[in-house]
Chains A and B, each alone.
Chain A
């Protein structure tokens, strides 16, 4: 009899110990430790406090290692992560390994172009990632010094020279230039002049690009003009720092925050950093506009692309269900509003964008500069070779900027040859 009681007691203890732990689903979230992601993960953890059947384990991973590491994980028999940060230009490589996520709560409120971007070849009718923030970019500028935001390259140069001459700033413009930070200088300027890395410009459908033989477009006048503009700013007018070609976006932001520069190219979601009095001398004096148009451009430019959360196919079903619940929450109004207020990140749901446009003047300014800009581009290449193409192109642009102005075309011809090799089987 005693034995029986003892067995019952042991079983009871086991049930008490194993019960809640066994029921809890652990969701491992992998992301690059960036302000936006940290904020999102914070909200995921808040959600998990109320939903005790799910536990969130954040796994921050350095950006440099992120893509190869997570790409390997999603191809393995069982992925070690349940939610993965999905950059907009990785969909072409990741699409076959990601769970369809269009059944996530709040997903239907997201405009189609924001999730189309993850699989730009139009073969996959279901979304492979849930956008959680808009990464639209443009120029921050000093509204205490610049009354009318520059609309063209000429305007940028003119206002820079004027403010420098008056001794109000040391430089006109800063932005990241070295790989992979050139979105806000070299890439933006190329696109703002209707140029692109591959022909036809602005085409993102992989099939069309393949039909066109993956032909580089880097020797086109649109590209050369963009490089000539930067060459002049570095070597002639000196409206940018002399070591501009070595700049990361962080180094560029430091100059703008120090009050040494009039304009700064970045993602809108850096507004929280440049407008924070604890970090920035120019807090309260910052406004935002689109990138200026080049001689061949059709108007100021921006992009409306997102960062997303994806769920790998190779994880248990119960983890997929829990992951979808978490992701559904971080695109809710509560979280999206907080993201906008704390970071300046553009919300992804259409109705919230409209509502904010009506009620929040600052958001209206950001909306006009970003997703309502006259020219919108999908700001990457959406094919598996993109990281390599991007890196090669960036290095050759810098090489061109370091050499003689008359050699720019020659250097870009070398770049063209290198790019052709990438697509050669």
Chain B
């Protein structure tokens, strides 16, 4: 815009001269040397001023428009992201309990308290990472398998796809209630079935690992279809030529999958896995409904730990510190994950 206006001005008033109008003055050193007296007419100056004013006005208008576009998002970011995080941080460096209004500055004491808490390191962190790892692995693997199975023509294909969507329509807390009753030792169908085929009833929610497995199963049930649907969508737009060419060359199904389909799916898979990693890391609803972090705090994750500190013990300072610490860990973990996935995707593409 700036360049074109200059160009048009030059062309119209100086007949294509290389000296731009308005940039040289009658008594300048350059004019004296060239012996030419560049004197602009009043008309030229008016046009220039008008154009300059117009340019400035346009620029201002554009700026205003840009700010207008950015402002809602900016205000949302300030009020719903930055201020709450800043407030949480402020609380975490002061003593803040429900009935203690002293708000004494304690620096990083609350963070140190968490880092020294054996329960936090011995149970909460391992639980969170283990749950994230197992959940992600199972959901990804099953999602890929289901997507591959559905990516072919068969009778009742539409019905199966609709049924697959069913868990996605269920709220996580509802799924928690559903699974806590399914695995109830007295009334649950799982134990009734186990007993019918000659096994003992298992007190699922009375032990750390059995309770944890119920949470994992409930999460896998809820989120595997999400993987499957997204991967199926990607599979359905996959070009068939490379697959057909590979088959003509004698490649078997697993070779086609590992050398053509998987590299093709890898960008979608990366994004899906990244999103789910964060989701799994901050898991709350199902765990709260199924075990509330028990028995004896043995299935507590990051989010449950922070919730308990905040709402159950009403130690707002420690609750906020735990949340922020969780966010930092998640951020570091996310960056590592992203870089790893990006590297894998790149190498898969190169291989493809």
Contact B99 A71 (CB under 8 A): yes
A258–B204 Cα distance when bound, in Å, is 20
Q: Tell me, yes or no, whether A242 is within 8 Å of chain B by CB.
A: yes
From B101, B292, B295, B310, contact of A245 by CB (8 A):
B295
Contact B203 A243 (CB under 8 A): yes
CB distance from A77 to the nearest CB of B (A): 13
Contact B187 A64 (CB under 8 A): no
Within 8 A of B (CB), among A23-77: 64-65, 67-68, 71-72, 75
A241–B186 Cα distance when bound, in Å, is 8
Q: Tell me, yes or no, whether B313 is within 8 Å of chain A by CB.
A: yes
Which of B128-136, B205-213, B277-285, B322-330 faces chain A? B205-213
Q: Tell me, yes or no, whether B184 is within 8 Å of chain A by CB.
A: yes
Contact A251 B99 (CB under 8 A): no
Contact B203 A241 (CB under 8 A): yes
Known contacts A243-B206, A246-B205, A246-B211: A388-B312 contact under CB 8 Å: yes
Residue of A71, A75, A251, A255 most packed against chain B (CB within 10 A):
A251
Specify which chain A residues have a CB less than 8 angstroms from the CB of B203 in the assembled complex. 241-243, 246
Q: Tell me, yes or no, whether A178 is within 8 Å of chain B by CB.
A: yes
Residue of B291, B310, B313, B315 most packed against chain A (CB within 10 A):
B313
Q: Tell me, yes or no, whether A402 is within 8 Å of chain B by CB.
A: yes
Specify which chain B residues have a CB less than 8 angstroms from the CB of A245 in the assembled complex. 206, 294-296
Contact A395 B294 (CB under 8 A): yes
Within 8 A of A (CB), among B154-205: 184-187, 201, 203-205
CB distance from A254 to the nearest CB of B (A): 7
In the complex, residue of chain B having the shortest beta-carbon distance to the beta carbon of A396: B296
In the complex, residue of chain B having the shortest beta-carbon distance to the beta carbon of A72: B98
A255–B186 Cα distance when bound, in Å, is 8
Contact A242 B206 (CB under 8 A): yes
Q: Tell me, yes or no, whether A201 is within 8 Å of chain B by CB.
A: no
In the complex, residue of chain B having the shortest beta-carbon distance to the beta carbon of A384: B99
Contact B186 A402 (CB under 8 A): no
Within 8 A of A (CB), among B267-320: 291-292, 294-297, 308, 310-315
Known contacts A246-B291, A391-B313: A402-B99 contact under CB 8 Å: no
From B101, B184, B294, B310, contact of A251 by CB (8 A):
B184
Q: Tell me, yes or no, whether A244 is within 8 Å of chain B by CB.
A: yes
Q: Tell me, yes or no, whether A260 is within 8 Å of chain B by CB.
A: yes
Specify which chain A residues have a CB less than 8 angstroms from the CB of B296 in the assembled complex. 245, 395-396, 398-399, 402
A-B contact count (CB 8 A): 78
Known contacts A243-B185, A246-B294, A246-B295: A93-B98 contact under CB 8 Å: yes
Residue of A242, A246, A396 most packed against chain B (CB within 10 A):
A246
In the complex, residue of chain A having the shortest beta-carbon distance to the beta carbon of B290: A246
Within 8 A of B (CB), among A369-389: 384, 387-388
From B211, B295, B313, B314, contact of A71 by CB (8 A):
B314
Contact B314 A178 (CB under 8 A): no
A65–B311 Cα distance when bound, in Å, is 7
Specify which chain A residues have a CB less than 8 angstroms from the CB of B98 in the assembled complex. 68, 71-72, 93, 384
Specify which chain B residues have a CB less than 8 angstroms from the CB of A75 in the assembled complex. 99, 101
Within 8 A of B (CB), among A237-266: 241-246, 251, 254-255, 258, 260
Contact A398 B184 (CB under 8 A): no
CB distance from A99 to the nearest CB of B (A): 18
Within 8 A of B (CB), among A389-404: 391, 395-396, 398-399, 402
A65–B101 Cα distance when bound, in Å, is 20
Contact A93 B99 (CB under 8 A): yes
Contact A398 B294 (CB under 8 A): yes
Known contacts A93-B98, A398-B294, A398-B296: A246-B314 contact under CB 8 Å: no
A245–B203 Cα distance when bound, in Å, is 10
A267–B66 Cα distance when bound, in Å, is 63
The 7 lowest CB-CB distance pairs between A and B, nearest first, are: A243-B203, A242-B203, A246-B205, A399-B296, A243-B206, A398-B296, A388-B313
A-B contact pairs, 13 of them (CB 8 A): A65-B311, A242-B185, A242-B201, A243-B184, A243-B203, A245-B206, A246-B211, A246-B291, A251-B184, A254-B186, A258-B187, A391-B308, A395-B297
Instruction: List residues of B whose CB falls within 8 A of some A CB.
Output: 98-99, 101, 184-187, 201, 203-207, 211, 291-292, 294-297, 308, 310-315
Extra 16 A-B pairs, beta carbons < 8 Å, given A258-B186, A388-B313: A68-B311, A75-B99, A241-B185, A241-B203, A242-B206, A243-B206, A245-B206, A246-B211, A254-B186, A384-B99, A387-B312, A387-B314, A388-B315, A391-B312, A396-B296, A402-B207
